[in-house]
Amino acid sequence: MELAPDLAADVLAAALAGRAVRVYPAMLSTEADALAWARAGAPSGAVVVAHYQASARGRAGLEWKVEPGQGLGFSLVLRPSLSAEREGWLYTAAVSGLADVVGPAATIGWPDEVWQAGARAAAVGVHAELGPQGVAWATVTVLVQDAVPPRAALLARVLAAIEKRMQTPSREVLDGYRARCTTLGQRLAARLIPMGPSGVVVTGTAADLRDDGSLVIVTDEGRRVAVPPQHLGVLDTPSGV
């Protein structure tokens, strides 16, 4: 498979000046390459882009489909200053940045999706590597579903928006996230990892968001349970609702 002209190395070098960039015509997934690159010392802001991904994956390994020439899939390496307890904040910041680019009418489905006009417009998946001092590094993998050529400028805007949200005070980011989040107020069943017949399911009403990225669910018994995005398998509507 040939590399799309709008994602050619020279085009991306011009659009992403100063960034470390890897670009491929086709590969298994940008996340796999970004993980290996991060472990080998890739700088914060490094990005892996592919025209086609055979096995693109998002949060919790959920399968994504990146249409060649009609979507945009990439992975970003970050080296944030975050405690281990706040690794889920990466979802909050990344999704907020994505929503900024999608537009003022964009809404957020906790923890990983941006919606517009009743359809999913974009999504993120995060891998955080924890060390003695907290999050040592992370990869943020992004899918923008309806991204038609030329895409280099869009890629640059998304990268800048995510990094800007990572540097914005948490309270400001959370306020904007809450205003856009359609998950709040819904009755939900959060199935945690590992999923299965004996797995943990938290059922109740989505009540709030925390600065560690967690969704607070108030159960029928009145308990407030914080569900971290990195522990979520599937978010469902409870049976009988």
pLDDT of residue 178: 98
- Give the up-direction half-sphere exposure of residue 97: CA atoms within 13 A in the CB hemisphere: 29
Q: What is the pLDDT of residues 169-225, one digit of tens each?
A: 999 999 999 999 999 999 999 999 988 777 899 999 999 999 999 999 999 999 999
Question: What pLDDT shows up at residue 192?
Answer: 96
Predicted local confidence at residue 66, as pLDDT: 81
Task: Note the pLDDT of residue 30.
Answer: 96
The pLDDT of residue 241 is 46
What domains can be seen in the chain, in order of their start residue? 5-180 (3.30.930.10), 187-236 (2.30.30)
**DSSP bridge partners of 131:** 134
pTM here is: 0.95
Low-confidence ranges of the chain (pLDDT < 50): 240-241
